Amino acid sequence: MNKAILWDLDGTLLYTLQDLTNATNATLRAFGLPERSLEEIRTFVGNGAIQQMRRAAGGEPENFQEMMAYYRAYYPQHCNETTRPYDGILETAARLRAAGWRLAIVSNKPDNATKALWKTYFPTFDLALGEGPGLPRKPAPDMALRALELLDTPRENAVYIGDSEVDVATARAAGIPCISACWGYRSEGELLAAGAHRLCHSPAEVPDALEELLHGQ
């Protein structure tokens, strides 16, 4: 029977923070709003582009829909300028693939950017789903459950890996165990406060964590 890992993208598989910051600030500049720092953007990401831009803009100005259109056009064109896989991610993914795991990406990033980065960095993964029509943003479980359906994998044979409180909540809503990635955009303390139970501090720790989860340790 198939077994699958559902991976968050930003802050879990890929360091994307500088490109997200650049795209956010390009949008803010275009609409006459003050720019945000990298550390501010770090706290804004995780709930999708709309929430990210709403937080960056300090609310929803009257022209917010125009801002979102600008961001959605800008970011896919600049989503891979400083973005890179975290150290050890590609090696860990290859090891898991060789061990028979099916691998998928489920992200609140817009679907076109999600798929572009999937094809660039993780072509051996089975599929990638991003924010788009018909799939509510995480922490709604729909995206995770749709991925498992496409992978023909039952929930009891699945594990979710992500770096934020949104990921902890998504896994809980989908009824699958979660490994929280401490190398991403949230601190260990923030993850524990969100209800994380199994933490990994580097991608190299993931295979052992999966074994522990599979054997109920």
Of the residues 8, 10, 126, 163, only one is catalytic, namely 8
Q: With bands split at pLDDT 50, 70 and 90, how would you rate the model's confidence at 212? A: confident
User: pLDDT tens, 114-168?
Assistant: 999 999 999 999 999 998 888 899 999 999 999 999 999 999 999 999 999 999 9
- Quote the mean pLDDT of the chain: 95
Q: How far apart are CA 8 and CA 16, in angstroms?
A: 12
Q: Where are the alpha helices (DSSP H) in the chain?
A: 17-30, 38-44, 49-57, 64-77, 89-98, 111-121, 142-151, 165-174, 188-193, 206-214
**Domain 3-15+84-214 classification at class level:** alpha beta
| Res. 211: pLDDT tops 90 | no
pLDDT-derived band of residue 46, with 50, 70 and 90 as boundaries?
confident
Closest CA to 165 of 178, 146, 147: 178
Annotation marks residue 8 as catalytic? yes
Render pLDDT for 77-127 as a digit per residue (tens, 0 to 9): 999 999 999 999 999 999 999 999 999 999 998 898 899 999 999 999 999
Query: What ranges do the domains of the chain cover?
Result: 3-15+84-214, 17-77
User: 17-77 has which CATH code?
Assistant: 1.10.150.240
Q: What is the pLDDT of residue 101?
A: 97
Question: What span, in angstroms and rounded, lies between the C-alpha atoms of 165 and 150?
Answer: 25
Residue 216: band (very low, low, confident or very high) from pLDDT cuts 50, 70, 90: low
Looking at residues 37-41, what average pLDDT do you find? Answer: 97
